Structure 1
Amino acid sequence: MKRYLLSTLTLSLAAAFASAAEPVQPPAPLSGIDVQYIDSSVRPQDDFFSYLNGLWLKNTEIPSDKSSWGTFAKLRDDTLPQLRVLIEAAQNEKNKKAGSETQKIGDLYASYMNEARLEKLGYKPLAGELQRIRALREKKAIPALIAHLSKIGVSVPYGIYVGQDSRESTRYATYISQSGLGLPDRDYYLKKDDAKLADVRAKYERHIEKTLGMAGHKDAAGAAKAILALETALAEVQWSKVELRDPVKRYNKVEIAKLGELTPGYDWKGALGAANVAGKVDYVIVGQPSYLSGFNQVLEKTDLATWKSYFEWQLLNGYSEYLSKEFVDADFAFFETVLKGVPENEPRWKNGVSTVNGVLGEAVGKEYVAKHFPAERKARMEELVQNLLVAYKQSIDTLDWMGPETKKEAQAKLAKFRPKIGYPSKWRDYSALTVKQDDLVGNMMRARTFAYNRSINKLGKPIDREEWGMTPQTVNAYYSSTMNEIVFPASILQPPFFDMRADDAVNYGAIGAVIGHEISHGFDDKGSQSDGDGNLREWWTKEDRAKFQAKADMLVKQYSGYSPLKGYNVNGELTLGENIGDNSGVAIAYKAYKLSLGGKPAPVIDGLTGDQRFFMGFGQVWRMKMREAQQIVQVKTDPHSPGQFRANGTMMNQPAFYEAFGVKEGDKMYLPPKERVTIW
């Protein structure tokens, strides 16, 4: 035994001397590029997206429970098992303190997973609310009913919510906005010459009929036909998604006493009283005045029986996934299979995790961050964000389309940007929410009411600048114009967006471009209408606005020419802000990457130059496949362009991309210099 110890010590000393003589070299940095997916049969100069992701596109099937599959979807799906471990640990904890977050997380999940109990109950958990609707005797009671249904998260013709006043961002205001359609967009009702949309409408009517019938409606077929006609009438007076992008047109301050001028005869006193708003505000901000007037006319023309059926349908629609299997299956068959092309529902545990995540997101997020988000990741991200802000600061001074007066204001706004990274500094308080182990529908109603009351209770209070609009476990990021902040949740800060092991090139091309994208929203066609304090104010000169608009118009035309599906083109106006974000984000991230090199050459890794890895880092995060039905939904409703055009369209506008890959006239990725859109 002594000889063993001695020999071990001798070996240890020998190793120590060897280490002192020959320092261990740190591991070579990774490229961070998924080179195994490169399709060498495609030239990057002709189709960068297919070159970079071609073998993945050829060999990958969309999972049977997904409408699309790619980088975002995979990261979200990979996060679910991590959350499941945390949630089931809460469920299985034996000595849970009543009212604790652990108890609420565990019991909400238990109530969702108890399928045997849900089968016994059928639609009985909604009996009280159905009776409330069926007992309606006159239209005068509809405003109060709309307010009540809003509280429990049911879709109704208009929504009431609280947010920062867009012209006075230091105070909260009450907003009223159009709502109430069951299909994804007004086009699904109004495009009569589109056979695919007509088929969706017919199946939607049958789905309404089936659902109402399962809940005991006496004339489900007649009611379904009337409901579709009612929703079509609402769609006809709603604003399009392009119109909704204009923050100035959406800001219509109306005194409470004058709301009746928009909707003669409508009981706003009863509506706002039931909504818990009366007495707390003297004005509201109406998003779409013409819609509100149009809704009031539809209300007058439509009989009470149809309105009752409509509210009954919207109640069932909002809660079907929390009822017995026949309701769950019917809901899935239309909203996932018909609308999105998904053949198979997710395992119940995934839906359960998503439900808990939606209700108690920050309580779960607190545990997720502790286990899955190391401090060094946050620190390196903070460094990247600061480098991007420096690049923006320098870029503003060199813009040829922005004059000195506007540049001064732009710098002032940029200086007030506030980054939030990883997770909130103050976690949400769920103490007022009651969760029971055997009451799923009740839990969801209380959760939605809790969220509603939390929003309404902000009125009259200081702005909560520590609040987050996403949970840490969300694979996404956002910019808030009223807060003038950029927010990057922990879950997006992982490969391929952010790789701690990789060389900087790929990180600047991926998460760096995401950072640049979000910052650019403060200066795009919408965000540029708000100043550094978050107030809607025109701080551009007319000349500079005109120059910017000329570039924006070029981008609209460019992206409107892209078609992911025959007969369905990208809506260049709807996607303008996000397309500006992609193009500006890459341009600024590239400048920040160059600054980070400090004049030194970038290493060549896997035979790829630094510039090539930068652009490939961006292109690989938009790796995606989508089912046809979901592609239609995306084109009609999503302000983001499809992934292949986020990759290729953006590259075609970047001068450095042409140099990195030797793109020349005649190549399919080539745009003449005068047709390239360079904003930053």
Structure 2
Amino acid sequence: MGTLWSQELVSLTSWFPATQRPPEEGQPTEQNRWRAMARRLLTTVLLLGLFLGSSVLLFYLFQGCTPYPCETPVCRRLLRRYLASRDTSADPCTDFFSFACGKAKGTSNSLQALRRMLEASGSWHPGSGEEKALQFYNSCMDTSAIEAAGAGPLRQVIEELGGWRISGNWTSLEFNRTLRLLMSEYGHFPFFRAYLGPHPTSPHKPVIQIEQPEFDIPRPEKEMKTYAQILREYLAYLNRLGNLLGGDPIKVEEHASMSLSITSQLSQFLRQQRAQGKLFQMVTIDQLQPLCPSSKEMAPAIDWLSCLQAMFTPISLSPSQLVVVHDLDYLQNMSQLVETQLLTHRDFLQSHMIFGLVGTLSPALDSKFQEARRVLNQKLRELTERPPMPTHPRWMTCMEQTRAVFESTLAAMFSREALSPSTQSAAMELFTAIRDALLTHLRSLPWMDEESRRKAQDRVTHLQAKMGAPEWAPEPALARQEYNDIHLGPSYLQSFLSSVRSRQARMVQSSLQPVPHHRWQMSPWEVSANYSISDHVVVFSAGLLQPPFFHPGYPRAVNFGAAGSIMAHKLLRIFDQLLLPGGCLACDSRALHGAQLCLERHYAAFPLPNGTAFNSSHSLQESAADVGGLAIALQAYSKGLLWHRGETILPNLGLSPHQLFFLSYAQVMCGEPSTQESQDTHSPPVLRVHGPLSNTPAFARYFSCPSGTLMNPSHRCQLW
């Protein structure tokens, strides 16, 4: 201390001239007064500077903590979407789903972007996949040409199959030849369905699978009181098809009745219940139809070798080829029915196949055929008490048909259009924040033991993430080669049939290629994510990284609430095994089971829309991931607020950043229960909103929900 003090004295004395010393006290001099004034001036300047600096700092901090409205075009588009979808008359504390989604409608921005790409005028390399995809889409959209052609292109197809007795011209062709053509050239399977699927046992290589076909009418059940009416509606549909094709009304009615009889018998052949342990059988082709007539035949009416060979060229098949049969009893009964018809009413059998073909091709026919199909589907859904199918505009129908054929080309186009380096970088930054929050979140799970927690955190740490673009999107040169066999025009039906053949050939060809170690299971425009167990890689689609779910220019609350919650949901699904019985032996099974029961009861307490069925245990893992995903995304967002400056909100909504976070989460889940598929394991949209939000204390706090209201219950659960 002495040394330092001495140095300070030396520093002070250095202010005075070497020949002078400070005057004695009580002896003021002119220089003394000058130095006193200088010290006062310096002190004033320092104090003023300190005051100004503090003011600037406080203003800067105030500005950083106070959100300001985002006025950019991308924010204004999102604002219009939110304003249009919200129902502000709904109380957010009792019905947040209506508050956020009450007026939601319309298609996703990804589909709209895909539409703009298909309708854009541009020059593409002649013969390229891009050029053919746009031509195919435009041909589908040219309804004037389709209507002008009428039933002409379809009649040409029927003539190639030998004609039709009800329309006058008919040639009795060999049954199996017609069947081969229907399956391989027209994509229609009147008596059975054949496809390449993974072998039921390891190593799961592709193998030919044979199943019953898809019937237009539902399978008869004992409790189905409307089955007779279903048959009448289907008969009316068949009669309408025959009349549209110019058939004689008397013959049309006769052949339609026989076709209905065949369909009804085939439907009844299906097993009500498959025998336990015999869900499939491995048989050889010659067991289905042996070369030696004296051998026991399983389904001899079908020339299995020639039909399957036509379907799966260039795979070389032999009589000893193993195939997977999913219902041998059905095939045997079907074969007996076909043999009987061939002996007595060959022309009726031909009519039955053509009736079915017309139904398969209806998406490529004029409006009269499409309307007949739409009316049938509507009647059948009413009679089976299913919600009506949503109606889609023509562009969506054509886009879906184009996507089914030109999947890889559209994937490459969409990825180039939708993903910029800045978007990918911002998405990866969001994922990193979500991943870090998950690592922290795992420490708070009361049912997880330390060893399981360490392993889970290690898996999260070593997880790789990819954003947006599919690995299988081909280069332009490869795309040209891939679609060489597609010939477009002169009618849309001919383009449609050419695409059917090309798609079937590509599916067979791809089965001969080595299976890639990691392959996307989704299209890039889907709002989805995919996890590869073998690679330990999670992939977030380009569709998820588009408005209204994500944009680098959105308020952070929107990105974390929408895309961030989906990312967190997918990360939690990696640990589904832990939630299964015996999946985490060292965990506190009692606490884990208690948390699961708590979540089931929590979801069961919410009212559902009329006609919505829901099994909470069936959707437990998805619901748990919804709840946990929201908690992790909120944790990541709140942590970022501690250091992030310049927080923005959407103007004219009257919502704080945290309220905007919860609204954006709900917007992801908006949807109608009727749009759910029967195999969907998610809970209905209203529960995907109310379940997680009501389980989050911060939601009730930021929306000032009174205790005991639907969205602020007295008890909450923590599974994830």
Structure number with larger C-alpha Rg: 2
Question: Does 2:298 match 1:265?
Answer: yes
- 2:434 aligns with 388
Q: 2: CA distance between counterparts of 1:581 and 1:204?
A: 43
- 1:220 aligns with 256
- 1:362 aligns with 408
Pair 1:375–1:568, CA change in 2 (3 A): same
Question: Does 2:678 match 1:650?
Answer: no
TM-score, normalised on structure 2?
Answer: 0.68
Pick one of 574, 594, 597 that aligns with 1:522: 574
Deviation at 1:320, TM superposition (A): 1.0
Q: Which has the higher contact order (CA 8 A, sep 6+)?
A: 1
Q: How does 1:460-475 map to 2 (within 5 A)?
A: 461-465=513-517, 467-475=519-527
Q: How does 1:279-318 map to 2 (within 5 A)?
A: 292-296=327-331, 298-299=333-334, 302-303=337-338, 305=341, 311-318=353-360
Secondary structure, in 3 states, of the residue corresponding to 2:465? strand
Deviations 1:622-660 (A, max 9, x none): 33457xxxx2x7364544433222211232333443444
Pair 1:266–1:224, CA change in 2 (3 A): closer
Q: CA RMSD in A?
A: 5.0
Q: How does 1:309-388 map to 2 (within 5 A)?
A: 311-335=353-377, 339=381, 341=388, 346-347=393-394, 349-388=395-434
Q: 2: CA distance between counterparts of 1:323 and 1:89?
A: 28
Letter in 2 for 1:220: A
Pick one of 561, 566, 569 that aligns with 2:610: 566
Question: Does 2:677 match 1:612?
Answer: no
- 1:589 aligns with 633
Pair 1:322–1:394, CA change in 2 (3 A): same
Do the aligned residues in 2 keep the contact of 1:369 with 1:490 (CA within 8 Å)?
Answer: yes
Deviation at 1:511, TM superposition (A): 0.9
Deviations 1:79-103 (A, max 9, x none): 35413433x546xx7xx62x32244
Q: How does 1:69-88 map to 2 (within 5 A)?
A: 69-70=105-106, 73-75=107-109, 78-79=112-113, 81-86=115-120, 88=121
Letter in 2 for 1:354: E
Question: Does 2:500 match 1:448?
Answer: yes
Pick one of 481, 489, 494 that aligns with 2:541: 489
Letter in 1 for 2:424: K
Deviations 1:249-290 (A, max 9, x none): 999795869997xx982587666545435669999896xx8x
Pick one of 121, 141, 153 that aligns with 2:152: 121
Pair 1:301–1:102, CA change in 2 (3 A): same
Unaligned runs of 5+ in 1: 1-21, 58-68, 244-248, 530-536
Pair 1:611–1:567, CA change in 2 (3 A): same
Secondary structure, in 3 states, of the residue corresponding to 2:467? strand
Deviations 1:407-438 (A, max 9, x none): 56645654665534222245234424223231
Deviation at 1:384, TM superposition (A): 1.9
Q: 1: CA distance between counterparts of 2:174 and 2:260?
A: 21
Pick one of 664, 669, 673 that aligns with 1:622: 669
- 2:132 aligns with 104
TM-score, normalised on structure 1?
Answer: 0.71
Letter in 1 for 2:257: A
Deviation at 1:443, TM superposition (A): 3.1
Do the aligned residues in 2 keep the contact of 1:382 with 1:421 (CA within 8 Å)?
Answer: yes
Unaligned runs of 5+ in 2: 1-58, 165-170, 289-295, 342-347, 382-386
Pick one of 200, 208, 214 that aligns with 1:181: 214
Q: How does 1:7-18 map to 2 (within 5 A)?
A: none
Letter in 2 for 1:634: Q
- 1:203 aligns with 233
Letter in 1 for 2:109: L
Q: 1: CA distance between counterparts of 2:194 and 2:594?
A: 35
Deviation at 1:373, TM superposition (A): 3.6
Do the aligned residues in 2 keep the contact of 1:497 with 1:510 (CA within 8 Å)?
Answer: yes
Pair 1:365–1:461, CA change in 2 (3 A): closer
Deviation at 1:548, TM superposition (A): 6.0
User: Identity over the aligned pairs, expressed in percent?
Assistant: 20
